[in-house]
Amino acid sequence: MGVLTGKKAVVTGASRGIGRGIAIELAKAGADVAVNYRSQQSDADEVCETCRQHGVNAVPLGADMGFQAEAEGLVERAIDSLGGLDIVVSNAVYSDRELFYKADLDGFRKTLDVSMWGAFFVIRKAALWMRQHQVAGNMVIISSPHAHMAIPGAMAYNMAKAANDQMARTAAVELAEHGIRVNIVHPGWTDTPGERKFFSEETLREQGGKLPLGRLGQPEEIGRGVVFLTSPENPYITGSTLTIDGGIQLPWREMYRIKEKAADA
């Protein structure tokens, strides 16, 4: 039996990428999973089938996290479909890359609507249900180093992720007395379809190879971090940030200077 056997989970933005990896790892650990998607139902169906191969129930649920009614409705439908809810993972995001003073404000607002407000509406709705039903649940918000790194061309996303971190920590304080834990995951540069929106295959391969551990992260590695945070074996972790980034936030570029100095000696 897995550490999450009998638990019920919903993962937003789970039809591909990091969300897919999280949903499958939760299933491997024994949790039933509601796999949220926005438009790619065939991808969500494939994720559900993979989850079911681990002996759990998995259901695809379409909803756009950019709209309050759909985000809140997703939580209700997940509860109805799975027969309860123990784990909520807010993962769905949207992002463009534009200088803020030239940005299309429709895309700017969409980034905030999906990446910030979507997360808020999901965890708020889940918290209300968990309190009402006295469920000592777990919530994980998939944030980003963008929360504290001013990445150029990504102001809306930087803003949303900074808000995600404060949202999660505040929720952790307010829900602690109810036994509900809330934590954050900061993935690093991860090999997902979404990265192809901004980078070529050649760039991903070459630049990924320069990272401290020599490669991009994999979605399942993020998923295993979520399993760790939501496991009943780790009941004393709340309001924490788990960084899974292969060392990308370390001052690794300084190693070039040391190596060059050694080569000159």
* Whether CATH 3.40.50.720 fits 8-264: yes
pLDDT category at 202 given cuts 50, 70, 90 is confident
Does residue 213 register a pLDDT over 90? no
196's tokens: 């192809």
Domain boundaries, the chain: 8-264
Write the CB contacts of 85 (distance below 8 Å, at least 6 apart in sequence): 8, 9, 10, 75, 78, 79, 126, 129, 130, 135, 137
In terms of phi and psi (left: phi > 0; alpha: psi -120 to 50; beta: otherwise), the region of 216 is beta
C-alpha 115/C-alpha 110 separation (Å) is 8
On whether the CB atoms of residues 225 and 252 are closer than 8 A, the answer is no
The region of weakest confidence among 20-29, 75-84, 206-215, 243-252 is 206-215
Please tell me what DSSP assigns to residue 117.
I
Q: In the chain, where do the E strands start and end?
A: 8-11, 32-37, 58-62, 87-90, 138-142, 181-187, 241-244
Which tops the pLDDT comparison, 188 or 143?
Answer: 143
Q: How confident is the model at residue 262 (pLDDT cuts 50, 70, 90)?
A: low
- Average pLDDT (77-88) is 98
More confident residue, 233 or 188: 233
Choice among 37, 157, 236, 256 that is catalytic: 157
- CB neighbours (10 Å) of residue 169? 18
Answer yes or no: 37 catalytic.
Answer: no
Among candidate residues 174, 168, 177, the one with its CA nearest the CA of residue 229:
168
pLDDT number for residue 250: 84
Average pLDDT in the 255-263 region? 69
Angle at 152 between CA 146 and CA 156, to 5 degrees: 60
- 58, 52 Cβ separation under 8 angstroms: yes
Identify the residue with better confidence: 91 or 264: 91
141 neighbors 164 (Cβ within 8 angstroms): yes
Overall average pLDDT of the 47-65 stretch: 98
Question: Residues of the chain with pLDDT > 90: what percent?
Answer: 78
Using DSSP's 3-state secondary structure scheme, residue 174 falls into helix
